[in-house]
Chains A and B, each alone.
Chain A
């Protein structure tokens, strides 16, 4: 178990180093940082001085080494546009994105699994068919369109929910949460649906397919032949086996939810890191782009690690065999 975790951690470090290299290359080759900082009227001497001060006259590997060092200390440089530390700017916006992703992720998983199990168990019912048909729409409609439609129906026509922003937020230390106010929670609903709908339908279809597969297996047949109740068979035996592959996909989807919150955040003017990133791209704010890249990579790596550990918890076959088979 510990060897397994260590191995996965080592792999994660390698992944992060590669991402750091790419993000470092962004700095180095997307535009000239010296030109960006000094503007056009600077003299050649000024440029050389700044170049030396920023360490840009050092060999490339020394620069990379120092970049890694700065990143590890949480120093991602200064935003060109806002002239503030990037780390601080991102930390201000991260809670908004994480809260949105968390709510839509949990909703997608809970409803996805529930509907998937329902449609698998009542395969021929008309409700199941209706759900499956509607889910096709969920899979095929682009996110921004769903967002716009929701705004039109619930914010413009019915005026039940706000169309943009986070509502009132409460500061818990540096974490600004929208969970604690009514307007904050109301503002969360539409973006969360928009962001989670695709994942929900994906999880639902996956759960349904896996569940149908599992229900055909010999051990389910044997469980029936032993006279176990339908409840025990469906939710004890079948669902647990269904969840093994579902966990992986869901985990990866959680990463995507955070990474692709960009569109939803733009549509709803949600003050998170996704919208922040889009603005950074517009103004070629390279330090912000580089930091965002690192952040998303880190989130993916961490989620992957958690998924692997969950796998380990759920599937006993991995616990011994992996270690034994590989050595």
Chain B
């Protein structure tokens, strides 16, 4: 198998607090292949955004990576010193944040912010950088880019600003783009457009995408594979079609059952009883066990390992663990 673009192994992120250390991520592992779109879903607080922040080394203090490793094309990046990491941020891994209204510096024009980013990473002249910037804005679908580039962020609508943010994330031709809920803050009518822009421009450049969202619809349409996080642990990961059609982890099935479809006419959507535990109250064994409809005795004592299944799927559930692993 070819080396993956990004490889995350047993990533642990901890936040020391007064009442003990909280594990925001507990041994999370996944790969992203060249040009692949990996969807990352989960409830709020499941650790999706922290995974994204950990990859580019921007976890808010006092949080820290407490274990595991992150490799970009085989090279470890989680242990790099700040100045080397900076050359990866923006240059090799681009990032798109949730809220386009606050992601742009209000006091600088779009051109200034784009040119600054381009010239930080690429050795080009001011004029060349400007040409690239105009081309980028054009590609993300900003009309009359050449005229509008000297406008300030507040001159743009939310959807247009998110296009600018995408242009900024792609300014230095990164190999991977981490999009952290890029459409959550936007009007429903422009969400689809933004996702299309993001997908197309990345496909164009062969950039892989890690798409963090809680919108399964977006994942279904956009992603190649999907990773499901629950309480800081990887529950299930696999090709989108398979996971949606035949979820293996009971949490994933519950998640899929709670999505309204046009085909079914149900009075009530199925819901998962209870709520995701807080980080300081994760139960022993499988984190999902108190809510799981198919819970078994040893789910309450032992944490299930992420187990390989058919078609490159992996699932962390005792229902699928090889016999004997439970008490191994």
Instruction: Spell out A's residues near B (CB within 8 Å).
Output: 217-219, 221-229, 232, 236-237, 240-241, 244, 314-317, 320-321
Closest chain B residue to A316 by CB distance? Answer: B152
Tell me if B152 and A228 are in contact (CB < 8 A): no
Tell me if A232 and B120 are in contact (CB < 8 A): yes
Instruction: Give Cα A306–Cα B152 distance, bound, in whole angstroms.
Output: 23
Interface mask (B282-309 → A, CB under 8 Å = 1, otherwise 0): 0000000000000000000000000000
Given A226-B171, A228-B90, A316-B154, A241 contacting B95 (CB threshold 8 A): no
Interface mask (B137-176 → A, CB under 8 Å = 1, otherwise 0): 0000000000000001011000000000100110110000
A218 contact from B90, B99, B107, B116, Cβ within 8 A: B99
B91 to chain A, nearest CB (A): 6
Instruction: Give Cα A314–Cα B106 distance, bound, in whole angstroms.
Output: 10
Residues from chain B with Cβ under 8 Å of A315 in the complex:
106-107
Asked whether any CB of chain A lies closer than 8 Å to the CB of B86, the reply is: yes
Instruction: Give Cα A224–Cα B89 distance, bound, in whole angstroms.
Output: 8
Residues from chain B with Cβ under 8 Å of A237 in the complex:
105, 108
Asked whether any CB of chain A lies closer than 8 Å to the CB of B76, the reply is: no
Residues from chain A with Cβ under 8 Å of B95 in the complex:
222, 225-226
Tell me if A229 and B86 are in contact (CB < 8 A): yes
Instruction: Give Cα A244–Cα B107 distance, bound, in whole angstroms.
Output: 10
- Which 7 pairs of residues, A with B, have the shortest CB-CB distance? A227-B90, A227-B89, A225-B95, A226-B90, A218-B102, A316-B152, A219-B105
Given A226-B169, A229-B120, A232-B120, A221 contacting B58 (CB threshold 8 A): yes
18 contacts between A and B (CB under 8 A): A217-B102, A219-B102, A219-B103, A219-B105, A222-B168, A226-B168, A226-B171, A227-B89, A227-B117, A228-B86, A232-B120, A237-B105, A241-B105, A244-B107, A315-B106, A316-B107, A316-B154, A317-B154
B105 contact from A223, A229, A320, Cβ within 8 A: A223
A326 to chain B, nearest CB (A): 16
Instruction: Give Cα A177–Cα B198 distance, bound, in whole angstroms.
Output: 64
Known: A217-B102, A227-B117, A317-B106. 8 other contacts (CB 8 A): A224-B58, A225-B94, A225-B97, A226-B94, A227-B90, A227-B120, A241-B105, A316-B154
Given A218-B99, A221-B97, A228 contacting B120 (CB threshold 8 A): yes
Tell me if A226 and B120 are in contact (CB < 8 A): yes
A contact patch SS: helix
Asked whether any CB of chain A lies closer than 8 Å to the CB of B56, the reply is: yes
Tell me if B105 and A226 are in contact (CB < 8 A): no
Residues from chain A with Cβ under 8 Å of B121 in the complex:
227
Residues from chain A with Cβ under 8 Å of B56 in the complex:
225
Asked whether any CB of chain A lies closer than 8 Å to the CB of B40, the reply is: no
Chain B: interface residue count, which band? Answer: 20 to 34
Closest chain B residue to A219 by CB distance? Answer: B105
A240 contact from B97, B104, B107, B169, Cβ within 8 A: B107
Residues from chain A with Cβ under 8 Å of B108 in the complex:
237, 240
B211 to chain A, nearest CB (A): 16
Instruction: Give Cα A226–Cα B104 distance, bound, in whole angstroms.
Output: 12
Give B79-119 interface residues, CB cut-off 8 Å to A.
Answer: 86-91, 94-95, 97, 99, 102-109, 116-117
Residues from chain A with Cβ under 8 Å of B106 in the complex:
219, 241, 315-317
Tell me if A222 and B104 are in contact (CB < 8 A): yes
Tell me if A317 and B97 are in contact (CB < 8 A): no
A228 to chain B, nearest CB (A): 6
Instruction: Give Cα A321–Cα B154 distance, bound, in whole angstroms.
Output: 9
B87 to chain A, nearest CB (A): 6
Tell me if B120 and A218 are in contact (CB < 8 A): no
Interface centre among B91, B102, B106 (most CB of A within 10 A): B106
Instruction: Give Cα A316–Cα B152 distance, bound, in whole angstroms.
Output: 7
Tell me if B97 and A222 are in contact (CB < 8 A): yes
Tell me if A226 and B89 are in contact (CB < 8 A): yes
Instruction: Give Cα A244–Cα B108 distance, bound, in whole angstroms.
Output: 13
Closest chain B residue to A319 by CB distance? Answer: B152
Tell me if A226 and B107 are in contact (CB < 8 A): no
Instruction: Give Cα A213–Cα B270 distance, bound, in whole angstroms.
Output: 43
Tell me if B103 and A227 are in contact (CB < 8 A): no
Residues from chain A with Cβ under 8 Å of B104 in the complex:
219, 222
Tell me if A317 and B152 are in contact (CB < 8 A): yes
Tell me if B116 and A232 are in contact (CB < 8 A): yes
Instruction: Give Cα A243–Cα B109 distance, bound, in whole angstroms.
Output: 17
Instruction: Give Cα A303–Cα B105 distance, bound, in whole angstroms.
Output: 28
Closest chain B residue to A240 by CB distance? Answer: B107
B97 contact from A218, A232, A236, A314, Cβ within 8 A: A218
B91 contact from A227, A236, A317, Cβ within 8 A: A227
Instruction: Give Cα A222–Cα B162 distance, bound, in whole angstroms.
Output: 12
Instruction: Give Cα A221–Cα B102 distance, bound, in whole angstroms.
Output: 10
Instruction: Give Cα A316–Cα B108 distance, bound, in whole angstroms.
Output: 8
Residues from chain B with Cβ under 8 Å of A225 in the complex:
56, 58, 89-90, 94-95, 97, 169
Give B42-87 interface residues, CB cut-off 8 Å to A.
Answer: 56, 58, 86-87
Residues from chain A with Cβ under 8 Å of B109 in the complex:
316
Tell me if B169 and A227 are in contact (CB < 8 A): no
